Amino acid sequence: MGVYVVFLLIALMVSLLAVAVMRTLHLRMVKKALLSQSQALLPPFDLELAAAHLQQLVRVPTVSHAHAEEDSVPDFSRFRQVIRDLYPRIHTHLIQRVLGESNLVYIWQGADLQLESVLLTAHQDVVPAGDTSSWTHQPFSGDITEGFVWGRGSFDDKGQLVAILEAIETLLATGFVPKRTIWIAFGCDEEVRGQKGAKLIASTLAAEGHRFAFVLDEGGAVVEGFIPGVHRPVAVVGIAEKGNLDLKLISSRDGGHSSTPKNPTSLGKLAAAVSRIEQRQAPGRLTLPVRKLFIALGYESSFPLAVVFLNLWLFTPLLKLILSHNSTTNAMLRDTHAATMAIGSEASNVISQESSAVVNFRLLPGSTEKDILRWTRKRIKDDSMQLEPQAFSTPSRVTDPDQPPFHMIERAITAVFPTAITAPYLMLGGTDAHWYEQVSSQVYRFTPALMDQNELSRMHNADERFSLDNLRRAIEFYIHLMTSQ
């Protein structure tokens, strides 16, 4: 009897695996048949001149600050003036609006007013340069050398902003009129969460009753070598982004002199609570963007991985196990937490009455502030600990990528990056994009540029740069996108 059961189990496992393998072969064949290359002829543009334009815009230090009153309004006005001087056709043919103090909106009227408009966005602001002595080229020099434009904001996000403007200026020179009306929005404070930038733009457009077929903001790029077993570049298009919660833990006990302590102190209790949080991870779950990412990779990865990625009905537990082993992929899988700030007393011989720490949580789509509070409360096992939510931004909605706008973006990507696999994904960091959920159900996050580990390490860091190759690709991408509406 026992032998039969074992035999049956083995037979069942073999058949499941056979089904998974057959399914994989079939799905990959169907996908290949669906792929068609579109190679339209592009109008010519002057890349050197575009780089010089980016240089001029990098030279204006449009730094945004957590305390908005520190922002230099004259610099943003100057930035606007430089754009006006560099792109005369745009300022003749498009309607320009300034929303709030420093936000820029352009409207390029389409030929068919019955069609819904599209909205392309980028941000004007940059993070501070930090320690300028660690830069090879001064952060606001915009030096052009070795095939790069160097400087703060050259990649994030003025390269993208310039690419949008160059594409329009180029198309205007040919007399082109887009089918749909194209809106452009450049927020002024993405780096500090978009409160007076994208939030204001989006709520103004919503109040005026505008709806968009899709919104495309900065986001994922074309990455190489990030996923083992996938040898082609992958263009990751964000269809959602994680939320953020700063949770303050406050521990209160008797204070006093450290020579006569009564342990545990408020700081000791706080440390124990933080330690208990760190010992456990929130449970993992495969959200739609992550499922979609791995299914897209399954069409192009090595065959054993394809069997796993294309048969998540069978291999979800195995995939979760694989993703847990790397901090980036692990963050795609669960709500994460990191203890980042702590305060005790101000002197070594004083026991503080109150100690506090901040734990930064990043929430998967679907997770709520309540879920995090419940989980934390359960973990710390200390009812005397106060939990005080501070800054909170809810996880974004998830855009359904099985819709025409995603395929439109995919076609523009394939035209410029012919060897890349286009895949939906979950952004781990935040962008302005979530503000635009109120004006479109199709919100995407993509920066049309190649990004490797080297370029990634320069983001928000010293020696940020944007290659001329990337600038060319970004301009081409937007020309494709604007001409294929």
Single-letter residue type at 39: Q
Please, what is the minimum distance in Å from the beta carbon of residue 440 to Zn ion?
19
First to last CA, the chain: 66
Element at 465 (helix H, strand E) = strand 465-467
Among residues 71, 125, 218, 241, the one annotated as catalytic is 125
Nearest C-alpha neighbor of 401 from the set 311, 291, 307, 316: 291
Given the complex with Zn ion, which of 156 and 455 has the nearer CB atom? 156
CA distance 279 to 11: 40
Please, what is the minimum distance in Å from the beta carbon of residue 165 to Zn ion?
16
Tokens of 249: 């833990």
Given the complex with Zn ion, which of 184 and 415 has the nearer CB atom? 184
Among residues 157, 166, 169, 190, the one annotated as catalytic is 190
Question: In this structure, which long-range contacts are made by residues 450-459, counting pairs with CB atoms below 8 Å and at least 24 apart in sequence?
Answer: 450/221, 450/222, 450/223, 450/224, 450/233, 450/417, 451/221, 451/222, 451/223, 452/223, 452/224, 452/225, 453/225, 455/155, 458/155, 459/155, 459/156
- Which residues are CB-neighbours of 229 under 8 A, at least 6 positions away? 301, 302, 304, 305
Please, what is the minimum distance in Å from the beta carbon of residue 152 to Zn ion?
12
Q: Segment 36-75, which members bind Zn ion (CB under 5 A)?
A: none
Q: Segment 151-170, which members bind Zn ion (CB under 5 A)?
A: 156-157
Given the complex with Zn ion, which of 40 and 456 has the nearer CB atom? 456
CA distance 97 to 403: 30
Please, what is the minimum distance in Å from the beta carbon of residue 337 to Zn ion?
24
Q: Kindly give the pairing relationship between strand 443-451 and strand 212-223.
A: parallel
Chain Cα centroid distance, residue 158: 16
Please, what is the minimum distance in Å from the beta carbon of residue 156 to Zn ion?
4
Given the complex with Zn ion, which of 218 and 476 has the nearer CB atom? 218
**Binding segment toward Zn ion, per CB under 5 A, in 141-149, 166-174, 215-223, 310-318:** 215-223
Looking at residue 428, what DSSP letter applies? S
Given the complex with Zn ion, which of 125 and 300 has the nearer CB atom? 125
**Binding segment toward Zn ion, per CB under 5 A, in 43-51, 175-183, 213-221, 253-261:** 213-221
**Binding segment toward Zn ion, per CB under 5 A, in 132-140, 150-158, 315-323, 383-391:** 150-158
**Binding segment toward Zn ion, per CB under 5 A, in 16-24, 211-219, 235-243, 412-420:** 211-219
Per the CB < 8 A criterion, the answer to whether 444 and 405 are in contact is yes
> Residue 125 catalytic?
yes
189 near Zn ion, judged by CB under 5 A:
no
- Residues that bind Zn ion (rule: CB under 5 A) add up to a total of 3
Please, what is the minimum distance in Å from the beta carbon of residue 115 to Zn ion?
29
Nearest C-alpha neighbor of 396 from the set 361, 422, 435, 449: 435
Per the CB < 8 A criterion, the answer to whether 443 and 396 are in contact is yes
Given the complex with Zn ion, which of 308 and 451 has the nearer CB atom? 451
Given the complex with Zn ion, which of 427 and 475 has the nearer CB atom? 427
Please, what is the minimum distance in Å from the beta carbon of residue 433 to Zn ion?
10
Question: In sequence order, what are the beta bridge partners of 250?
Answer: 356, 386
Which positions touch Zn ion (CB under 5 A)? 156-157, 218
Q: Which residues are catalytic?
A: 125, 190
